[in-house]
Chain A
Amino acid sequence: MSEFISNFPILAIMSLFLGAFITSLLGRKNAVVRNVIVFISMALALIMMLALIKPVFIEGKVIGYWLGNWAPVADWAIGIGLEVDALSLFFGLIITVAVFVSGTYSFTYMSHDDSLVNYYTLFLMLSGSVLGLVLSGDLFNMFVMIEIMTFTAVALTAFRNTYEGALEGALKYLVVGALGSSSVLIGTALIYSQLHTLNLAQITALLTNDQNIVTGIAFAFLFIGFGTKAFLFPFHPLAADAHAVAPASISLMISGVLTKCGVYGIIRLVYCLYQNIDRPFVQYLVTAFGAVSMFICVTMAFNQHNFKRLLAFHSISQVGYVITAVGLGTSLGLASGLYHAMNHTIFKGLLFLTAGAVQHMTGSLDLDELGGLSKKMPRTCILFLIGAASISGLPPFNGFGSKWMIYQAAFEKSSQTGNVFFLVVCVTALITSVLTLASFVKVAQSVFFGQLNPKFENTKEVPLAMRIPMWILAILCIVTGIFPGSVANKLLMPAVNAATNTRAYVSAMMGEAYAAAHQVVHAGAADVQLIGVYSPMSWMLLLLSITSAVCLVAVLGSPEKKKLEPVVGANVPNGPMTPGSIPVTSQSREADERELITDDLDPKYESFFSGEHAEYSQVGGSDLFWGFKKNWRHYFSFMHEWHSGILNDYALYGACSLALTLLLCVLFL
């Protein structure tokens, strides 16, 4: 069994690609066959990834697999290798879980659409290429997987091509995405020109000693390439356009999974390939990119009118958190970054699925139009609240644990190195977290609470088949939130050690002697002092205070039973003073007719509207947070122009950032 385990990575990828192939073949006939095939291939990939946990996480083995059995000849890697260490398995797990949830969700969510065979073929190709990128041990293989990922994501974004703006978003994503993948290609070519190999392990070994200017330029190209895939600062308008128009299950994939591949690429590049994370310049570069994209995207998200576009900007600002944490360079920083990446996929997936549910039922996503849906869709409202609470980092949920670790890592870094830059980053992170909370309060008020728009009078709750994946994610949100300590030790520590311990990475593929020959640094296991957030004592404390509070309120309740709303229409006399039972004189009778009292419901339970008949007046969408917007109006108007929506501008921003990074890398690296 143990040697068979080394075939699991390729089997997982093949199960997804084969699933895509078979669905396009057999799926045309009827839906059930197609759904079964899709379900089996997703489940197979998930099971194999789970099976890999024991050897890789617990025993710490690094699984190498040479395609076509082309083992290295005379210490030179010829064939294409797959390499699974704890870091890539960590991301592999996130990806397979997200794929599984998104797939089961889209069975019912996409039922209204047509030509679903193409949808599922593209969907399985996308998940296969994403898994392939994370598990591959060969740089050019990563480039090929990035290209497949981009093409399938673009095709899926434009899947509902009659949807307003879908084609435009897809085109922008494709052109600037192609720009990013070409820079990855150029980086690969430059690395090959210097080291004459493409295998990641061998590159790591060779790069430890001879880093010249060309590898520096290759670093810049690769960093910008992976940055495009992670939608970092200059590339974030792409994600906003792509998410707003894509179906909800695909926006879950884009925001939860594609951005993680960009993050994985950057971590692999900075921690393993070049191992130059301890150089101050690289730390500044990565953290600066993360902090800027974190802050700009949250302010852009603040006054959006479209629910999914707001979620898209938030997902990039959360990815900015992850990149900032990764750029700190300390082991606590990397641990908090990985933890936040996992949490982000979970709660952002939940939020996108709730957005999909709202769109599926009401057909509109405009924040100014929606309102009061919590009465019609109560369970979706609860799910949304769980997701919103965890993204804004409220204590019992998972966002809190990871965000707080990021602040601590940033602040410790700044106090140890005595450098004010990381202090500014820490304060920006805190402000961003408050603005995230504010924008999710805005979404809660304008979509779920407030008064119901008469147009959505007959919306019903989402079918159960759509709610199951949402509940899976919600439970994951709560579980990883309550036990951050155990999550950290079992999942994060092996991944962090794997990222920093490159000797095991190299020796798994190229053999121990080769690694020794090139003095690959063997960083010790990181002794991150993980502060136990939840000791059992504080749980007892919370429980006791809850019971005391509830009985306090119950005891002091008013003597007669709290009367709920009486039967609609019946004017139940409750005491002599109800105006309903007033003597009606002739003079006031015809006054009544003139007054045309339309509402026969008991006015007692109407919301207070200073006496007026409470007609539909929803306070939501763009007329919230007036004070904040007034102070920032210059900044917001500038940002509004800057995101012009023109393809050329986005390409220009991308090219400028590429040029800037190239310049910096040539000067400092």
Chain B
Amino acid sequence: MTNVLLYAVHLFLFPGLLFIVVMGLLLAGIDRKLVARMQNRVGASILQPWYDFLKCCGKETIIPRHARKGLFLGAPVACFVILISAALFIPVFGGLSMSFEGDVVVILYLLTAAGVAIIVGSAASGSPFAGVGLSREMVAMISYELPFVLVLLAVGALCGQDSAYGVTFSMDEIVRWQTENGSSLLHPAMIPAAIAMLFVIPCEIGMHPFDIAEAETEISEGTLTEYSGAPLGVFKLCHCVKMYVMTALFCALFLGGLSTGILLVDALLEVVFCIIVTFLCMTVPHAICARFKVEQVFKFYWTFVSALALISLLLVWIMR
């Protein structure tokens, strides 16, 4: 009985639902604040995403005539559920996760499924803006999937050197290997992979320079054109949770070795590192450059960022 209780607490409290949602909103708030400060203006309060979410839940939900009600209302919930289950597979600094042998690929596919949930939601809304929005979202997904997979393969190859199969697809294995031989960021072969991962994160989340799917100026909110009220709030929440999921994934893949074992210190360490990674990979590009065109995003990811990931994969290959 106790382990079920512990398991429920684990699921709902610490690395579970509450922690993920709070962390997501916190990261989004900090990101908006940092962008404002970088543009020399005061910027909204750190709790602004929380207010946005509450305000959206307070508004009326309009279901358009062309929309398909079941999918239209179900898509945000599905996206939220998929993201939470993806986040639960990521070990928070060396422990406390539902990890099993092949869960790196499960995380990859859950993130793809979250993207598909958004796409199905916008397709079900039946608006032409959403049609263009979902095609851009798919192009963004194609473009970041290649480098993302190469980075996962590189880390799997590095951390699976001494395992029987020469490669590992399990997060626990990756984190344990890093605790023994130092986190993989210190290995010279993994520097290009880390940079590639930093580029992949904003596109996967849809942050400013790569948010070709929700381009307000071009296609009026793209995928979320027809959403209002609580479903819109849940989609915005998914956007924030995705920020936490990707940064936590980055910390687990590249900074796995720094866990101290004490639960509280680990949690604080995780929060600090996530904020640093958010600043590096989302705030700086958001403040510096304008939104990319659709084919620029694709060309940028399939040439420059994939080359980086490939270099590190080959380096790991040679150094083996």
B65 touches A395 (CB 8 A): no
Q: Which of B126-134, B190-198, B254-262 has 4 or more CB atoms under 8 Å from chain A?
A: B126-134
A549 and B80 in contact, given A415-B166, A541-B98 (Cβ under 8 angstroms):
yes
Whether A619 pairs with B132 at a CB distance below 8 angstroms is yes
Q: Contacts A404-B109, A531-B101, A608-B127 known; A411 to B295 CB distance under 8 Å?
A: no
Given A374-B124, A415-B166, A451-B126: A394 and B295 interface contact (C-beta under 8 Å): no
Whether A558 lies near B61 (C-beta < 8 A) is yes
Would B88 and A618 count as touching, CB distance under 8 A? no
- Is there a chain B Cβ closer than 8 Å to A212's Cβ? no
Cβ–Cβ contact A607 & B142, under 8 A: no
Are A533 and B106 closer than 8 Å at their CB atoms? yes
Q: Find out whether the CB atom of A441 lies under 8 angstroms from the CB atom of B230.
A: no
Please, how many angstroms separate the alpha-carbon atoms of A604 and B112 in the complex? Answer: 33
A451 x B157 contact (CB < 8 A): no
A245 to B166, CA, bound (A): 47
Q: Are B226 and A608 in contact, with the CB atoms below 8 A?
A: yes
Interface string of B103-131 (1 = CB under 8 A from A): 00110011011001001100111111101
**B51 at the A/B interface (Cβ < 8 Å)?**
no
Q: What residues of chain A lie closer than 8 Å to B120, measured between beta carbons?
A: 385, 444
Asked if B225 and A608 make an inter-chain contact with CB atoms under 8 angstroms apart, the answer reads yes
Question: Interface extent on B, as a size class?
Answer: 35 or more
List, in ascending order, chain B residues with CB within 8 A of A627's CB: 136, 139, 212, 293-295, 297-298
A449 touches B124 (CB 8 A): yes
Bound CA span A605–B60, Å: 12
Given contacts A415-B165, A545-B88, A601-B65, contact A445 B110 (CB under 8 A): no
B126 contact set on A, CB distance < 8 A = 372, 449-451, 607
A437 near B116 with CB under 8 A, answer: yes
Stretch at the interface among B40-48, B145-153, B177-185, B276-284: B145-153
Measured CB to CB, the nearest residue on chain A to B76 is: A553
* B101 and A607 contacting across the interface, CB-CB below 8 Å: no
Tell which of B62, B67, B119, B135 touches A604, judged by Cβ atoms closer than 8 Å. B62
Give every chain A residue within 8 A of B116 (Cβ-Cβ): 389, 392, 394, 437, 441
With both chains docked as a complex, state the minimum distance between the C-beta of A456 and any C-beta of chain B, in angstroms.
Answer: 14
Indicate if the CB atoms of A628 and B141 lie closer than 8 Å.
Answer: no
- Size range of the interface on A? 35 or more
Choice from A416, A445, A546 contacting B165 with Cβ under 8 Å: A416
B5 smallest CB distance to A (angstroms):
13
Residues of A within 8 A of B59 (CB): 558
> Separation in Å of the A439 CB from the closest CB of chain B?
9
- The complex places the Cα of A87 from the Cα of B129 at a distance, in Å, of 51
* Closest Cβ neighbor of B109 among chain A residues: A395
CA distance A607 to B60 in the complex (A): 16
Query: B residues 215-231 with Cβ under 8 Å of A?
Result: 220, 225-226, 229-231
Known: A411-B167, A544-B8, A558-B229. A438 touches B85 (CB 8 A): no
Is the C-beta of B77 less than 8 angstroms from some C-beta in chain A?
yes
* Per-residue interface assignment for chain A, residues 608 to 626, with 1 indicating a CB less than 8 Å from any chain B CB and 0 otherwise: 1110000001111000111
Annotate B50-69 by CB proximity to A: 1 below 8 A, 0 otherwise: 00001001111111111110
> A3 at the A/B interface (Cβ < 8 Å)?
no
- Give, as a whole number of angstroms, the nearest-CB distance from A160 to chain B: 31
Does A427 touch B at the CB level, under 8 Å?
yes
Which of the 9-residue segments A262-270, A428-436, A493-501 touches chain B? A428-436
Q: Which residues of B contact A541 (CB under 8 A)?
A: 11, 85, 88, 98
* Bound: A416/B167 CA distance, A: 9
Q: Of the 9-residue stretches A148-156, A275-283, A561-569, A653-661, which lies at the interface with chain B?
A: A561-569
Q: Does B80 contact A451, Cβ atoms closer than 8 Å?
A: no
Given A434-B141, A449-B126, A556-B233, also A441-B119 (CB < 8 A): yes
Task: Check if B205 is an interface residue, CB within 8 A of chain A.
Answer: no
A408, B102: Cβ atoms closer than 8 Å: yes
CB B241 to nearest CB in A, in angstroms, measures 11
Complex-state Cα separation, A551 to B229, whole angstroms:
16
| B10 closest partner in A (C-beta) | A541
* Chain A interface main SS type: helix
Tell me how far the C-beta of A302 lies from the nearest C-beta in chain B, rounded to whole angstroms.
10
Flag if B65 contacts A558 (CB, 8 Å): no
Q: Restricting to A554-600, which residues have a CB under 8 Å from any CB of B?
A: 556-558, 560, 562-565
- In the assembled complex, the Cα of A407 lies from the Cα of B146 at a distance in Å of 14
B85 touches A542 (CB 8 A): yes
- Determine the residue in chain B with the shortest Cβ distance to A405: B102
* From B65, B134, B156, B160, contact of A441 by CB (8 A): B134
Which chain B residue shows the least CB distance to A610? B220
| Residues in A neighbouring B225, C-beta threshold 8 A | 607-608
On whether the beta carbons of A626 and B11 are closer than 8 Å, the reply is no
The residue that A445 contacts in the complex, of B81, B106, B131, with Cβ under 8 A, is: B131
Q: Is residue B187 contacting chain A, with contact meaning CB distance below 8 A?
A: no
Is there contact, CB below 8 Å, between B64 and A606? yes
**Which one of A411, A415, A544, A565 lies within 8 Å of B65 (CB-CB)?**
A565
Question: B273-310 interface mask toward A, CB cutoff 8 Å, 1 = contact, 0 = none?
Answer: 00000000000000000000111011100100000000
Distance, CA A537 to CA B143, complexed state (A) = 33
Query: Does B26 touch A at the CB level, under 8 Å?
Result: no
Whole-angstrom CA separation of A617 from B167 in the bound complex: 49
* A119 contacts B by Cβ under 8 Å: no
Indicate whether A558 sits within 8 Å of B230 (C-beta atoms), given known contacts A545-B17, A601-B65, A624-B135. Answer: yes
Least CB distance from B315 to A in Å reads: 13
Task: Determine whether the beta carbon of B138 is less than 8 Å from that of A438.
Answer: yes
Q: Chain B residue with minimal CB distance to A604? A: B62
Which residues of B lie under 8 Å from residue A434 when comparing CB positions?
Answer: 112, 141-142, 145-146
When A441-B119, A605-B63, A631-B298 are in contact, do A545 and B109 touch as well, CB less than 8 Å?
A: no
Partner of B149, one of A404, A427, A617: A427
| Measured CA separation A667–B59 after assembly (Å) | 73
Using a CB–CB cutoff of 8 Å, the interface residues on chain A facing chain B are 372, 374-375, 378, 381, 385, 389, 392-395, 400, 404, 407-408, 411-412, 415-416, 418, 420, 423, 426-427, 430-431, 434-435, 437-438, 441-442, 444-445, 448-452, 531-533, 535, 537-538, 540-542, 544-546, 548-550, 552-553, 556-558, 560, 562-565, 601, 604-610, 617-620, 624-628, 630-631
Given contacts A549-B234, A606-B65, A608-B220, 17 further A-B pairs with CB under 8 A are A374-B68, A394-B109, A395-B106, A418-B317, A423-B313, A423-B317, A437-B112, A441-B119, A538-B98, A538-B100, A556-B57, A557-B57, A558-B60, A562-B60, A606-B64, A627-B298, A631-B299
Pick 11 A–B contacts, CB within 8 A, sort by A.
A408-B105, A412-B166, A416-B166, A427-B153, A434-B145, A435-B142, A445-B135, A449-B124, A546-B77, A549-B84, A626-B139
